Structure 1
Amino acid sequence: MTDPGLRARKQQRAREQIVEAAYALFAERGFDAVTVTDIAARAEVGRTTFFRYFGDKREVVFADEQRHAERMAVVGAAGGPPVDSLPAALRVVAEVVLAVSDDVVGDPARYGVYTRLLAAHPELADRMRRKLDHLTDELANLLTGRGADREIAALAAGLGIGCFLTAYRLAGDDATALLPALRRAFDRLHALASDCP
């Protein structure tokens, strides 16, 4: 009988090999010049194995999204006092968005390639915006699950993602600049929210 843990580790390793190969090729040749066959060959897997994990090469660009969603869920579920005001909701959102963003820039070279790919390919940028829309909904649901009313939850989630987008634009492809820019954006937002009645 095969050890299920060993099988899962092998699958994770194969998936990561595909992602690493794809990002290396995108950096070397550009997105348009790379095929699924190229990625599979560089990763030393077959095309069938590639398609077991990804539907196309665009999906590889967003390979880390599931891990980011899991990180968001873990941080958001950590508990704390009920979310009964906009400042309280913004504190939760800041904690979650900063934690996920820390994960996003965990591999600075990959982050740089990712941002350049999105800047050069509108269809990838559009896909990122749709993913951020989904993340906004997830953040709002997390907040309502912790006691926020729907209006506060939606507003705080939208403002939090707005802070991320601002920091993302300011940082460009510099992974080291994203978190400081994001912290500054949240600090300014917290100051404004604290002044509100």
Structure 2
Amino acid sequence: MTISKATCLAGYTLLVLTCSVFAEASANSAFAKSAPMAPIGGSQTAKAPNYLGASIGKTTTDGFCQDLTACASTDKSWKAFAGVRMNDNIVLESSYVNFGKQSGMDTSGTVSQKASAYTAAAVAGIPVSDAIEAFGKAGMAHWTVEHTNSSTVVENTGNNIMVGLGANYDLGDNMGIRAEWERYKDVGTTTTQQAGDIDLLSLGFTFSSL
């Protein structure tokens, strides 16, 4: 499934604005710091132009369990992602996220939901030490939700913003560990399911090239 033109336009607009802000901030900080900024997934002496990664984690879906009993709004999740460096501090990152499955009971029987998303985001990194880099991200998600009850299956798609915070730990040899939190806003807008935010906590590995 491809991201719509509206999503791409919004994502790239956000990227340009974010790059402008951090480029100005980087220029100002250059007078105060002589050491180069550490890249995302790399080291201070080798700024990787791109990287691949994969993470596993746990999702919490807000609002799904409303009016349901014996309901579980959390599940295991996984994602795969790739990044392309724009400058020392900004990376353009895309990903595919599988949010897992949530289920509960209503008067008609079992109700369940499966969701996934494609994303495009700008990731801004700030070095904490030689090996650790903190980062924030913001972008757009093109999500798909499959909602199932005892009689019907409804699939719905949409676009909305996503944000996140996290940190990378450089292991050397072009490898790193990533821990992060992400929030996907207002996922799901069917007549049978109220839209809600999805939070994802994940841990994964990055593999960069030099």
| TM-score class, shorter | under 0.3
TM-score (norm 2): 0.24
More helix by share: 1
The two structures have a TM-score, normalised by structure 1, of 0.25
Instruction: Identify the structure with the greater strand proportion.
Output: 2
